[in-house]
Amino acid sequence: MAILPILCFPDPRLHKVAQPVTVVDERIQALVADMLATMYDAQGIGLAATQVDAHERVVVIDVSEERDQPMTLINPEILWASEDKQVGDEGCLSVPGIYDGVERSTSVRIRALDEKGQSREIEAEGLLAICIQHEMDHLMGKVFVEYLSPLKRNRIKTKLLKQQKQDR
């Protein structure tokens, strides 16, 4: 397992739309293992393949307190989302140190393949539902800051670009 570099906003590669996975093979399973290692190393609760510059519909999530319940979602699709919505502070490994309010459905039902290629349906609410929606946005080339006002988004972009120059 390798720790993969995570793309940081405003990297244009974060806006690429991920392609469906046609077969869950050893290559995809290795990507999943690397993504989980990367997510745990970065202390995140979710990671989309887009964030590690692999533009395929693969997401890993672990919202458990003990960090021992990894979930793999390959080609996830939302079957149902509650009309009930809630604004919650979100952060993102691709937007380090930034947290802001985003409105999301409080519960969702999705269908996805797991790391073995088995289809499953998952009903999620609370943090898991929010995390699923957040990561699925990445697969569509959308970063959570795009829900914010243009002014906030530009401030975040300027701050992160300045940070990236200092880190070089």
Binding-site sequence positions? 92, 134, 138
Question: CA 87 → CA 100, 101, 126, 147, distances in Å?
Answer: 9, 6, 11, 11
What's the rounded Cα separation, in Å, for the pair 50 and 128? 19
Catalytic residue among 66, 77, 135, 146: 135
Q: In the annotation, is 135 catalytic?
A: yes
What's the rounded Cα separation, in Å, for the pair 106 and 88? 10
CB contact set of 141 (below 8 Å; sequence gap of 6+): 14, 15, 16, 17, 18, 50
CB contact set of 13 (below 8 Å; sequence gap of 6+): 7, 50, 53, 55
Residues contributing to the annotated binding site for Fe cation: 92, 134, 138
Catalytic residues: 135
